[in-house]
Amino acid sequence: MSTSTAAHHDDHGHDSHGHPTGIMRWVKSTNHKDIGTMYLWFSFTMFLFAGAMAMGIRAELFQPGLQFVQPETFNQLTTLHGLIMIFGAIMPAFVGFANWQVPLMIGAPDMAFPRLNNMSFWLLIPAAILLVASIFVPGGAVAGGWTMYPPLSVQAGMSMDMSIFALHILGVSSIVGSINIITTIFNMRAPGMTLMKMPMFVWTWLITAYLLIAAMPVLAGALTMLITDRHFGTTFFNAAGGGDPVLFQHVFWFFGHPEVYIMILPAFGILSTIIPTFARKPLFGYASMVYATAAIAVLSFVVWAHHMFTTGMPVAGQLFFMYSTMLISVPTGVKVFNWLATMWKGSMTFETPMLFSIAVVFLFTIGGLTGLVCAILPVDIQLQDTYYVVAHFHYVLFSGAAMSIMGGVYYWLPKWTGHMYDETLGKWHFWTTTIAFNVTFFPMHFTGLAGMPRRIPDYSQQFAEFNMISSVGAFALGISQLLFLYVVIKCIRGGEKATNQVWEGAHGLEWTVASPAPFHTFETPPQVK
């Protein structure tokens, strides 16, 4: 392939690409790799910030009674932790991966719209400022939970307006980013890279981008109705005017359920990339993996009301949403079994990315099964708003999404930096994270089943032991992430030189370019056989 000639080739043919140095390199960037790097650092900063809020929550819950924070502050902590982790940490991390990897994987010179790509990133900054600054306005940050249900959100103070506009801006960023990704995948593939030859990560992001384009505008609509209800006298969510607070929940979860797949499908893509590499076998059932991803995406739009089983729906509606939700476990199961079959009789080695991937297959499946439990209508009525739900979604979002991100970072870090990371420290990070995660969240299944409600700063004496265990685990989990930061910085600053292929079992276009990947790659499209 003709890629090595592209290295450090700044002034070529059609336009001057002499990229600025210093801060302007990043501010004015139109380079998918630089923008991907910014996304990943932004995401990690937000991850630590929202993680610190979780530490505040667990410190308060270490013992029954009120110790450190007032109930209002506690509510602000849970709300902002959720909002920032979802919109500031998980989603931008996956977009960072998409930016770095999609053009490399399909043999494109860059994203289809490089300037819009940078705009998608820079829109995250005002949104983050609005969210974080809302802590300091009169009345404090939003405290009604990340789902912003009315009537609480209609009555809340100025911070609610700031959060709503922050989410509007994030929505613009996501929609523009998704259009960019879809266009890149459909229009920028190297000759010979047919759709069914695309790496699984590209497929999952293509489908995720569709979910974003379809779901984000609906959230924008819900938030706009919230703003007009708050300030312009509309009655969308007010029964006195013929509206209904539950209407917000319907519109919100029509966005919200696809949103949870937006946060997991790219993780599936990362797993489907890492596992074949370290099992040294091609991905088992590639086509079924593609169809399963598409099936999950379609189903995600017809299950939203399972978040609202206790709002008083007609039984027919409840049953429909119960069965459609359970149906999702079929394509998800296809994926889990495909990963297992990929590992079956493979020559496996257990480098840090593989350890993370295997842990995700195992722990995500636990989260998936508790999801199935929550889908069962009569059980869910008991479990709604208990710690069981908190345990469930942290098993899918932390040990599903966040740990896939960590695995992906270790997997591609040598390609990004040109250095191998410290394998020993990476394994330490893996084991401390995995153990601490389970110590934190596994007991929540028990406290939840015993009836401990979430989003409450105080609790009955009977939950004391399990909460203490959870808090100890949470602090260990938090500290482990500082180790992650250290390993990443150490790898950027130096380390064993990485080869182009990096991993023995790695296949695909991204492993044919130099490590670190040169500033411009695939300016002349490679031929894919």
Partner 1 sequence: MSQSTKNYYLPGPSFWPLIASISLFLLAGGFTMVLNKISMGTPLMIAGAVSLTYLLFGWFKEVIGESVSKFYNKQVDLSFRWGMGWFIFSEVMFFFGFFGALFYARNVSVPWLADAKLLWPDFVAGWPTSGPGLTEAFTAMGPLGLPAINTLILLTSGVTLTWAHWGLMKDKRTQLKIGLALTVLLGAIFLYLQMHEYAEAGFTIKTGIYGATFYMLTGFHGLHVTMGAIMLSIILFRVMKGHFNSHDHFGFEAVAWYWHFVDVVWLFLFIFVYWL
> Smallest distance from the beta carbon of 226 to partner 1, in angstroms?
12
C-alpha of 226 from chain center? 25
H/E stretch holding 11 reads strand 11-12
How far apart are CB 232 and partner 1 at their closest, in Å? 6
Q: Which of 261, 286, 304, 387 is catalytic?
A: 261
Would you call 21 a catalytic residue per the annotation? Answer: no
Reported as type and span, the H/E element at residue 16 is: strand 15-16
66 vs 239, beta carbon nearer partner 1: 239
Q: Which of 174, 370, 399, 515 is catalytic?
A: 174
- The rounded distance, in Å, linking the Cα atoms of 382 and 393 is 17
Instruction: Closer to partner 1 by CB, 158 or 195: give it.
Output: 158
Instruction: Tell me the closest approach of the beta carbon of residue 376 to partner 1, in angstroms.
Output: 25
What is the C-alpha separation between 452 and 457, in angstroms, rounded?
11
Q: Is 168 a catalytic residue?
A: no
Q: Is 454 helix (H, G, I), strand (E, B) or coil?
A: coil
Select which of 37, 134, 153, 173 is catalytic: 173
Catalytic residue chosen out of the listed positions 60, 229, 259, 351: 259
Let me know if 329 is a catalytic residue. no
Q: How far is the CB of 126 from partner 1 (least distance, A)?
A: 3
In angstroms, give the least distance from the CB of 247 to partner 1: 5
- Closest to partner 1 by CB, 66 vs 158, is 158
Q: Reply yes or no on whether 81 is catalytic.
A: yes
To the query of whether residue 259 is one of the catalytic residues in this protein, the response is: yes
Cβ-based nearer residue to partner 1, 324 or 480: 324
Reading the block at residue 165, the tokens are 């506009």
| DSSP labels, 482-523 | HHHHHHHHHHHH--SBPPSS-STT--SGGGTS-SSPPSS--S
Determine which one of 250, 280, 427, 454 is catalytic.
454
Altogether, the residues listed in the chain come to a count of 529
Known catalytic membership, residue 261 = yes
Please identify, using beta-carbon distances, which residue of 206 and 444 lies nearer to partner 1: 206
Check if 16 is active-site: no
What's the gap between Cα 448 and its chain centre? 24
Query: Of 332, 352, 399, 434, which one is the catalytic site residue?
Result: 332
Pairwise CA distance, residues 218 & 207, whole Å:
17
- Cβ nearer to partner 1, comparing 37 with 357: 37
Distance CA 488, CA 334 (A): 34
Tell the smallest beta-carbon distance from residue 402 to partner 1 (Å). Answer: 26
* Phi, psi dihedral angles at 176 (to 5 degrees): -60, -45
Let me know if 496 is a catalytic residue: no
Given a contact cutoff of 8 angstroms between Cβ atoms, the answer to whether 326 and 375 are in contact is yes
Q: Is 493 a catalytic residue?
A: no
Active site residue 332: yes
User: Do residues 6 and 522 touch, judged by C-beta distance below 8 A?
Assistant: yes
Which residues are known catalytic residues? 81, 110, 146, 173-174, 257, 259, 261, 272, 306-307, 332, 335, 454
